[in-house]
Amino acid sequence: MQIACVGHASIDHVFQIQAFPQRATKTPAHDFQSVGGGMAANAALAMARLGAQVRFVGAVGDDDAGRLVRQQLAGEGLSLQHLQEIAGARTSASAIIVDRSGDRQIFNHLGNALSLARVPDDAVFDGCDAVLVDPRWPAGARAALSWARRHRRLAVLDADVAPVADLAALVPLAQWAVFSEPGLAVWAADTPHEVALRRALAQGAEHAVVTLGEHGVLHAQADQMTPLAAFSVRAVDTTGAGDVFHGALTLALAQAQPIRDAFNFASAAAALKCTRPGGIRGAPTMAQVRDFLAHNPRP
């Protein structure tokens, strides 16, 4: 599979703590790592570990953070021909605080590399079987989704929290609009999940999905509304689990797996990630996901 992953790359500073404080104070961390992150970059790394050939399409600054992001993605075997390095720009950065139960808080500065990046042309996507985009780079996401629609390729939008205008422009272009629960609430002004997903279908998406963490997903297609359960695991670090889910789902759909099997595969990959610390460095390989599925019944 040749998959283009378009959007956000950042440097993530991940702190592991025992518990979130009740008030402003100094809180010791028992572990710390600086790792490459960002929605699209995390999903790209996850797909590469699962065996896909991935082109990452995005932008970083020519700063230390950008060099670290590039180094990590290259180390995972991603094609970085279309990762732009913008002179004088600042790479996105996040502080991620994870407690002992695996819950986390994220503080992000988006930087300005994506806002200064050149919009990809059609040649960037030639030969791809699928595109996965996030809303952090609306112009890049529109270019990828439009290319996929014209060439009848799989197109998946990771519809996380973003300005409403950006989501409104991207959802109608996506074959699969896969919302986080907070992203769906922003896009649909807190209407019930079923109503919001039907609205996404009415606006042009063929499939609309909301991910609900440990409660699974809700999938809408035509006149069907299907809830699907998640695997039950002991979470250590949920950072990047949603990105792993989006990447694994895109790969499974590009491989023409039946929809229920594709969700099962993506849920297994995300569940495995939750059992491992270190942010996206805990993303599993294909062999690990297959072993997990062999020993865990479908939820």
Q: Residue 131 and residue 152: Cα distance in Å, rounded? A: 11
Amino acid at 46: A
pLDDT of residue 101: 83
Domains and CATH numbers, the chain: 2-21+29-286 (3.40.1190.20)
Q: Residue 255 and residue 85: Cα distance in Å, rounded? A: 32
pLDDT of residue 59: 97
Q: How many CB atoms lie within 10 A of CB 89?
A: 21
Q: Residue 213 and residue 205: Cα distance in Å, rounded? A: 22
Q: Where are the alpha helices (DSSP H) in 160-212?
A: 164-170, 181-187, 193-202
One pLDDT digit (tens) per residue for the chain, 299 residues = 899 999 999 998 889 899 999 999 999 999 898 888 899 999 999 999 999 999 999 999 999 999 999 999 999 999 999 999 999 999 999 898 988 887 889 898 999 999 999 999 999 999 999 999 999 999 999 999 999 999 999 999 999 999 999 999 999 999 999 999 999 999 999 899 999 999 999 999 999 999 998 899 999 999 899 999 999 999 888 888 999 999 999 999 999 999 999 999 999 999 999 999 877 889 999 999 999 999 998 77
pLDDT of residue 228: 93
